[in-house]
């Protein structure tokens, strides 16, 4: 007898939408996404900068995350091609714009040298540029910039458009999207996740995937709770003009600038351990603008279009929690920290294979389990 219960995905951010769509695309008959707010727009993915930057992000302690990021980046073109089949013109361009990592003083230049040496030893393609060579690449940069690393292979995407395309593709494939419907609890019986609870109601599930981002730990019924905490990021959206248009992502120690193809220039972002406090405060916004103005003086003239805040889903070691859990029928796609847009194609592929083929994270880095 066929199981008519739905595959349930908790969370309609980028992970939930991508997993829901892929499940349907790969043969699942009935998939329902539950979203506490409005799918895409209530998520951290809506606020994110959309930088796909494993090479720029690679830190001394982070080589696993770097390798997983690289694998996910490699999956992006095919992921978008497949998305095009279901969402057509809504799908955003994959932009291999490259990234510049800047230094503006002697301390930062020394740090840049260490970063350069670390990357060359790890075989990460990188070029070290002088201040003038950096300005040749990006003429809007200030003369305060003394050196940079140029990472030619880095990419970016319009993450908002990507979320909207995933939502459209999910719906086109017959997925059921329940917005303003917050899951309060996962119901288990005999070591197996069997249902979700929302309001006064309960719905039986064939499988349950937790893709609730920074909120994943607030869902009851999971023992122990998923070890994810919110790290707040405040961000500013400026409107570029024809004369003030950056060509690539710019990273400096205290700020980054990410130009989007819809004319927005995102200036970000803070990283604050303040729980779920979503207020936008004058101080951090002033500082971000000041740091951005120091490296690109022309932003002084740009219109502030929006200020935003959301929460990165952080684990203690910044590794994501992805795949089949210890509880039967329960899967995780959370804890993606500041790499969730980058990690979407790989995560969706792994979780979908886990659910539909019963595999246990066979696609995890170097065959390692991803489950925390």
Which residues of this chain interact with ligand FAD, rule CB under 6 A? 10-16, 34-37, 42-45, 47-51, 182-183, 211-215, 219, 233, 235, 268-269, 310, 312-313, 334, 336-342
Q: Say how far apart CA 94 and CA 77 lie, in whole Å.
A: 7
Nearer to ligand FAD, 148 or 249 (CB): 249
Tokens (6 digits) for 32 = 């329902």
Cross-strand bridge partners of residue 232: 272, 311
Q: How far is CA 356 from CA 20, 75, 80, 221, 324, in A?
A: 12, 20, 21, 24, 11
Nearer to ligand FAD, 36 or 91 (CB): 36
Nearer to ligand FAD, 116 or 311 (CB): 311
Nearer to ligand FAD, 53 or 131 (CB): 53
Smallest separation, CB 292 to ligand FAD (Å): 14
Smallest separation, CB 341 to ligand FAD (Å): 3
Which SS3 state, helix, strand or coil, does residue 82 take? helix
Q: CA nearest 211: which of 71, 22, 84?
A: 22
Smallest separation, CB 167 to ligand FAD (Å): 11
Nearer to ligand FAD, 23 or 269 (CB): 269
Nearer to ligand FAD, 112 or 269 (CB): 269
Smallest separation, CB 198 to ligand FAD (Å): 7
Smallest separation, CB 266 to ligand FAD (Å): 8
Smallest separation, CB 8 to ligand FAD (Å): 10
Nearer to ligand FAD, 69 or 131 (CB): 69
Nearer to ligand FAD, 124 or 147 (CB): 124
Smallest separation, CB 175 to ligand FAD (Å): 15
Nearer to ligand FAD, 147 or 351 (CB): 351
Instruction: Tell me which residue has its CB nearest to ligand FAD.
Output: 13
Nearer to ligand FAD, 119 or 339 (CB): 339
For the chain, what is the radius of gyration of the CA atoms? 21
Smallest separation, CB 227 to ligand FAD (Å): 14
Q: CA nearest 331: which of 364, 366, 358?
A: 358
The residues, any chain, with a CB within 8 Å of residue 45's CB and separated by 6 or more, are 13, 14, 159, 163, 213, 340, 341
Smallest separation, CB 67 to ligand FAD (Å): 15
Smallest separation, CB 136 to ligand FAD (Å): 25
């Amino acid at each position: 007898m066929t199981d008519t219960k739905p595959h349930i995905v908790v969370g309609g951010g980028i992970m939930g939408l991508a997993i829901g769509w892929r499940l349907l695309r790969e043969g699942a008959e009935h998939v329902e996404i539950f979203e506490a707010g409005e799918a895409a727009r209530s998520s951290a993915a809506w606020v994110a900068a959309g930088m796909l930057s494993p090479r720029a992000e690679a830190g001394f302690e982070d080589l696993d995350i770097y390798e997983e990021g690289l694998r996910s980046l490699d999956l992006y073109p095919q992921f978008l091609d497949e998305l095009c089949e279901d969402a057509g013109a809504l799908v955003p361009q994959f932009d291999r714009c490259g990234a510049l990592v800047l230094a503006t003083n002697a301390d930062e230049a020394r740090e840049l040298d260490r970063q350069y040496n670390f990357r060359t030893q790890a075989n990460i393609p990188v070029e070290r540029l002088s201040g003038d060579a950096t300005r040749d690449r990006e003429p809007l940069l200030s003369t305060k910039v003394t050196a940079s690393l140029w990472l030619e292979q880095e990419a970016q995407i319009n993450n908002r458009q990507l979320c909207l395309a995933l939502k459209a593709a999910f719906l086109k494939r017959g997925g059921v999207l329940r917005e303003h419907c917050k899951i309060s609890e996962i119901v288990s019986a005999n070591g197996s996740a069997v249902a979700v609870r929302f309001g006064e109601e309960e719905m039986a599930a064939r499988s349950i995937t937790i893709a609730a981002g920074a909120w994943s730990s607030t869902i009851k019924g999971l023992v122990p709770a998923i070890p994810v905490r919110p790290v707040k990021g405040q961000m500013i959206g400026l409107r570029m003009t024809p004369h003030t248009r950056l060509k690539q992502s710019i990273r400096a120690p205290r700020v980054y600038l990410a130009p989007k193809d819809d004319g927005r220039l995102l200036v970000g972002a803070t990283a604050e351990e303040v729980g779920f406090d979503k207020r936008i405060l004058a101080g951090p916004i002033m500082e971000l603008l000041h740091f951005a103005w120091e490296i690109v003086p022309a932003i002084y003239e740009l219109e502030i279009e929006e200020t935003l805040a959301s929460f990165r889903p952080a684990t203690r070691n910044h590794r994501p929690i992805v795949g089949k859990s210890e509880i039967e029928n329960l899967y995780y796609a959370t804890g993606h920290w500041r790499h969730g847009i980058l990690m979407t194609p790989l995560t969706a592929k792994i979780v979908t294979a886990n659910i539909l083929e019963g595999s246990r994270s066979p696609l995890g880095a170097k065959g390692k389990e991803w489950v925390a």
